[in-house]
Structure 1
Amino acid sequence: MSVRLTQYAHGGGCACKIPPGELEGVVKGLAGSPRQPLGELLVGLEDGDDAAVVRIQDDLALIATTDFFTPVVDDAYDWGRIAATNALSDVYAMGGRPVVAVNLLGWPRDTLPFDLAADVLRGGLDVCNAAGCHLAGGHSVDDPEPKYGLAVTGVAAPGHLMRNSSGMPGMPLSLTKPLGIGVLNSRHKATGERFEAAIDAMTTLNAMAAETAVNAGIRCATDVTGFGLLGHLYKLARASGVTAVIDAKAVPYLEGAREALREGYVSGGTKRNLDWVRPHTDLTAVNEDEALLLADAQTSGGLLLAGEIPGAPVIGELIPRGEHVIVVR
């Protein structure tokens, strides 16, 4: 039996995230502990960074994160690889290295065969093996909608952490993967067409980019996932107290992305991203289609770095805070 996994999900991948504006209201105030926990919390909820970080020794910080989502492609093995790559990305975005992960699986046991679930888990295992990260056990639930991801623990040197709040005026902005994953995934869900370039991008680990960035002295970064380039950049610029200027013509896109947009394959998540950042963004230099692409909800996207590394195009810069948090030119 041929199964199209995306037809069992109301959305796909990181486009299924709760909209950023709604999420910030939910988590507001969820900080602090009445008892003294072990270690010093270096990164928590304050700036909406990619992962939590606790210093457990002077030279060692623990990174904790989790990410899971509904099927973004129809192939079970590829979905497992994409979800695992995406979950590991939060550790890389903080400048760390993943050490151990556990599976998170929701499966409609009366609807989908378990051999497909095994393929999903095998995809996650292969990615963790490639990353040099242990994958040990996990948790599963009987769920009417299939979901998969990882809870990941990593390590980093406290002085080498990359945070979204460390940007300063004069820093260039670089992007390590092209955009357009969201619209191509939306087209895949609607038509069944397979886009190899999108799958390759989503299954490419951000490990090398993160290591290169840390070694280059970069200390401000985030990864570009469900909130789109504009959403994640807004969080970075807001946390850093700067304005981000984007050169729209310098932003790279996957082949077929603009065609998919023209044909209307835009997720609800992308539209919500643009609605969220629009009041804080000067978009007068671009049309609505270009703005939607810049807000396109990515799954397992690249790193957005305040700095330069080889192979990553410079797409803008940080400047002193002005009237807008983001300016697109």
Structure 2
Amino acid sequence: MDDPYQFGQIAAANALSDIYAMGGTPLFALNIVAFPRQELPLDILAEILRGGMDKAHEAGIHIVGGHTIDDSEPKYGLVVTGEVAEENLIRNNGAKVGDRLVLTKPLGTGIIATAIKRGVAPEVVVARAVETMTILNRDAAQAALDVGVHAMTDVTGFGLLGHLLEMCTASSAQAAVDFAALPLLPGAVDLAEQDAVPGGTRRNLDYVRKALTLEGEVSELDQLLATDAQTSGGLLMAVGPDKVHDLIARLTEKDTPAAAVIGEITGEGPAHITLRKG
């Protein structure tokens, strides 16, 4: 990400997501900064921190301190402390047979970020990806709490299927995902076809293959999109079939980046995912 202010915003939104994914409310945050002070002007660092601070304020919290080190490349993140009432705690281990799987942000940020590094990402594609990554998962999490979802996690570095596999493992469940239902960022498919695929995405696919069955005309490219390593991705929810329409309506009302039913929990047993198409 070339814009330091946006870099800070995305990092903060990404860090806050862990609190929202468990139904919690953030309380405060600490900055963690690595910066090459001899190579980059401090104005860049100031913009990164401003982006993080503005996003923290949007979440209703303050950044109360932090730690900085001199490093060869800029890195920025936050340690976020939050709280949640026990009755509101949402884990990733409560998925039940028949639950529908709902995703609240489109996929493809890892592929687009790789294309940005290579200088091949169109500006309009970058703008849409940045817009998505800077959106907090707060409103989506509130919709999940209001409806009463059974399980939830945020989709980040392990990609959609990686985090779904974690949910299935924790819930002793099996799932099916419809590739055609997956929301994808504009440009993600074209850039993946140009091989702008990060190493983390390929490692994610290698990891989930052990528990993955393909059904229909699922290509290697489709699998990479479904395992693309996300930054500040959306929430993946398992919700009862009697509540899914209410959840989608609430997400739509809150204007979340996506409100897509992408599959369902199909059975109990050892964790397994079927990715189907057609």
Question: How does the TM-score come out when normalised to structure 1?
Answer: 0.76
Query: Which of 139, 148, 155 is the equivalent residue of 1:217?
Result: 148
CA contact (8 A) 1:160 1:219 kept: no
Which of the residues 72, 90, 94 maps onto 2:18? Answer: 90
Matched, 1:313 2:260: yes
Whether 1:185 aligns to 2:117 is no
Note if 1:293 corresponds to 2:225: yes
TM-superposition CA deviations, 1:46-102 (whole Å, max 9, x none): xxxxxxxxxxxxxxxxxxxxxxxxxxx111110000000000000000001111001
Listed as ranges, the gaps of 5+ residues in structure 2 are: 253-258
Residue identity in the other structure for 1:176: T
Following the alignment from structure 1 to structure 2, what is the Cα–Cα distance between the partners of residues 192 and 313? 29
Structure ranking higher on relative contact order (CA contacts 8 Å, 6+ apart): 2
Q: Letter of the 1:126 partner, please give it.
A: D
More displaced stretch, 308-317 vs 230-239: 308-317
| Partner amino acid, structure 2, of 1:209 | A
Which of 162, 165, 168 is the aligned partner of 1:234?
A: 165
The AA in structure 1 aligned to 2:147 is: A
Report the CA distance between 1:181 and its aligned residue: 1.1
Report if aligned partners of 2:165, 2:271 keep a CA contact under 8 Å in 1.
no
Structure 1 window deviating more from structure 2 (280-289 vs 297-306): it is 280-289
Contact 2:201 2:227 in 1 (8 A): yes
Corresponding position of 1:134: 62
1:325 — aligned with what? 272
Mapped partners of 1:98, 1:319: distance in 2: 34
Cα displacement string for residues 197-231 of structure 1 (whole angstroms, at most 9, x for unaligned residues): 10000000000000110111113100001110011
Identity of aligned residues (%): 49
Give, as a single letter, the amino acid of the residue that structure 1 aligns with 2:268: R
Work out whether residues 220 and 306 of structure 1, in 8 Å CA contact, stay in contact via their aligned partners in 2.
yes
Matched letter for residue 50 of structure 2? R
Instruction: Mark the CA change 1:214 to 1:107 in structure 2 (over 3 Å): closer, same or farther.
Output: same
- How far is 1:244 from its partner? 1.2
- Cα 1:78–1:228 change in 2 (3 A) is same
- Superposed CA deviations along residues 122-142 of structure 1, whole A, max 9, x for unmatched, are 000000011101211111111
**Which runs of structure 1 show a deviation greater than 2 angstroms over 4 or more consecutive aligned residues?**
321-324
Q: 1:197-212 alignment to 2 at 5 Å? A: 197-212=128-143
2:34 touches 2:71 (CA, 8 Å); kept in 1? yes
Alpha-carbon distance change, 105 to 323 in structure 1, aligned in 2, over 3 angstroms: closer
CA distance in 1, matches of 2:141, 2:194: 35
TM-score by length of 2: 0.90
Selected match of 1:262 from 170, 179, 193 = 193
Deviations 1:105-150 (A, max 9, x none): 0111111111101100000000001110121111111111211010
Q: Is the 8 A contact 2:169 2:270 kept in 1?
A: no
2:40 and 2:215 map into 1 onto residues whose CA distance is 47
Greater share of helix? 2
Q: Is the Cα–Cα contact under 8 Å of residues 245 and 326 in structure 1 kept in the other structure? A: yes
Would you say the 8 A contact 1:281–1:324 is kept in 2?
Answer: no
Task: State how far apart, in whole Å, the 2-side matches of 1:162 and 1:181 are.
Answer: 25
Match of 2:98 among 154, 164, 170: 170
Given that 2:7 and 2:51 are in contact with CA atoms closer than 8 Å, whether structure 1 keeps it comes out as yes
Aligned residues, how many? 257
Question: 1:171 and 1:265, CA in 2 relative to 1: closer, same or farther beyond 3 A?
Answer: same
Which structure 1 segments of 5+ residues have no match?
1-72
Report deviation, 1:253.
Answer: 0.4
Note if contact 2:108-2:184 (Cα within 8 Å) is conserved in structure 1.
yes
- Let me know the Cα RMSD of the aligned residues: 1.2
